[in-house]
Chains A and B, each alone.
Chain A
């Protein structure tokens, strides 16, 4: 049977059918409910009062650099929501309206927001230069939630979250637990066949120190990353497990609704509790790491209640530094560069750890310019990477700067330790003529460099050597 055509959408992304009736009134009702029940009121109040329109944010935004268009100017974009706030939720706005100087929110205003807030990748690079401290990424976050409450949200994000919270599989890739177990057994066999070592993927181990949550799509698409992680945990003697109750680090709630965000975080915390784990270990995924670390304590009863969060790159670097993990030097001969995922680098959390590892295992490591906290977004941030119908814009506009950065390094290997960034940068390379560039995870390369302990070597079966 032919697939049903996607429902018509006035936006560059597909949506599920939504109610067109009384949208401005419903938008304002949702906005009011959010302001009343969350902590965003004081934030928007301050931002609405002091936006100076100096243009620095626009200079730093890779989307605006590519288009030089008004809707992509972060200050303008934020102002779409802030002007609604000023008009309907401040005394002066209401007074002006009473005196006849107001304006009324229209369907056209909502459509403008619906488009603009999904052209932003919420990478928060602009925040690092705003002289008055406005976080345009936070404004995008709030605006998307208000829009979602009136049904305007990319279908790709809704489908993923629905499967994760209400679907049979309980994860964004729809992987049933038995399939997960099969995959892990297959990967264990790969270790034996390709590396001659026995490396376990512990499943549902009670009381493990680390409960592991990668971007679940890694189980389908990134076997080498997972083998790298397992190799590190095994070689360093780490205690870890994968829970079959829940095993997805992805949280697309971050990109459109705090309600979904909180439900997904709580699901992750519940799995750690079920397994009596001590820490959350997040795989190579930027937003999954940020969500667990930043929001785990909020939705998990406070910093003393919620388990600490470790990113796998932190773990690997620490094991390497302590000498618990031996890595061969210079085993990667190709010129290699590193992409900083926004969600873990802007806060200064994961900056040098992967670089120290790469400088050791790569013979020719080069930096992109700019890098670290100033690095450009891959162009697929804030969930836009999963909106396939936006691919031309994602790779041609949002990802143009990243393509230029990669080209300038001359690297043929791009290390991108984030599932979303990996997918986006692969597509960016495909669509921007970087055919000889391969995009990998950090643990793809670590896997090739691990010196496994002799005890894990698998003895080859066969006839006993003569004279034995």
Chain B
């Protein structure tokens, strides 16, 4: 089972994620093209869009209630991106299979990052359940995604630390692989797609106001209202 999870299933999951993300990018690019071709004012200030996006990615200084959730999210994202890419074990696997490699994190740093990722995910779940503003927004899927990510990192930590492994190596490894495979499959088709769509969404907030000059009249025609008085 472990061999299946790290062999064919992992390859399928990675391919599915790559193709899915590519599809998302193609859809976003075609959306951009559609908007810019249909509007009479295709001027775009990329500088303004980038400045706006930069200001939004970090926790808001204007937030009046709590900034904690924003910082937890920041830690989670740093852990999600840096740990799997620079973990020595992962770099080794890539080097063996693809013949390419890059520097890896010292083991202690990887441990700290993995632990921080798990703890931030758990704290985010706790915040979602305890803070009214977030509870209003929280559905089962929000908890599921955070729990799934925490599972990937916690099981990975256990795999590399036999002393902390309460499940035993085979179970921890299988859990790690299956959870990671599931994340890869879910990335392009769920809100985890923000990994590829964030730049597009930031730009679309501005570009979305580039209206189609005849849009209003075309809608009226489609609804048979073009001759109706207001």
Contacts and interface: CB of A to CB of B under 8 A. Distances in A.
Interface string B193-230: 11001101111111111111111111110110100011
A262 to B, nearest CB: 5
Interface stretch (A65-73, A412-420, A424-432): A65-73
Interface in A54-83: 54-56, 58-60, 64-65, 68, 70, 73, 75-76
Contact of A133 (B43, B59, B204): B204
Given A52-B191, A127-B205, A374-B62, A298 B133 contact: no
B216 A261 contact: yes
A37 B211 CA distance: 10
A189 B219 CA distance: 48
Contact of A49 (B24, B55, B220): B24
B70 interface: yes
Interface in A22-66: 29-30, 33-34, 36-43, 45-47, 49-56, 58-60, 64-65
A172 interface: no
A42 B32 contact: yes
Interface residues of A, number: 70
A133 B208 contact: no
A135 B132 CA distance: 23
Nearest to A60: B62
B136 interface: yes
Interface centre among B35, B59, B142, B204 (most CB of A within 10 A): B204
Contact of A60 (B41, B64, B193): B64
Contacts of B142: 53
B139 to A, nearest CB: 8
Given A53-B142, A56-B70, A47 B201 contact: yes
Contacts of B56: 128-131, 133
B2 interface: no
Nearest to B202: A133
A49 B133 contact: no
A303 B43 CA distance: 8
B194 A50 contact: yes
Interface of B: 24, 27-28, 30-32, 34-35, 38-41, 43, 48, 52-53, 55-57, 59-60, 62-66, 69-70, 73, 131-134, 136-139, 142, 189, 191, 193-194, 197-198, 200-220, 222-223, 225, 229-230
18 contacts: A33-B219, A39-B208, A42-B27, A50-B201, A51-B191, A54-B70, A55-B134, A56-B59, A59-B66, A127-B205, A128-B60, A131-B73, A133-B56, A133-B202, A162-B230, A295-B211, A298-B41, A300-B40
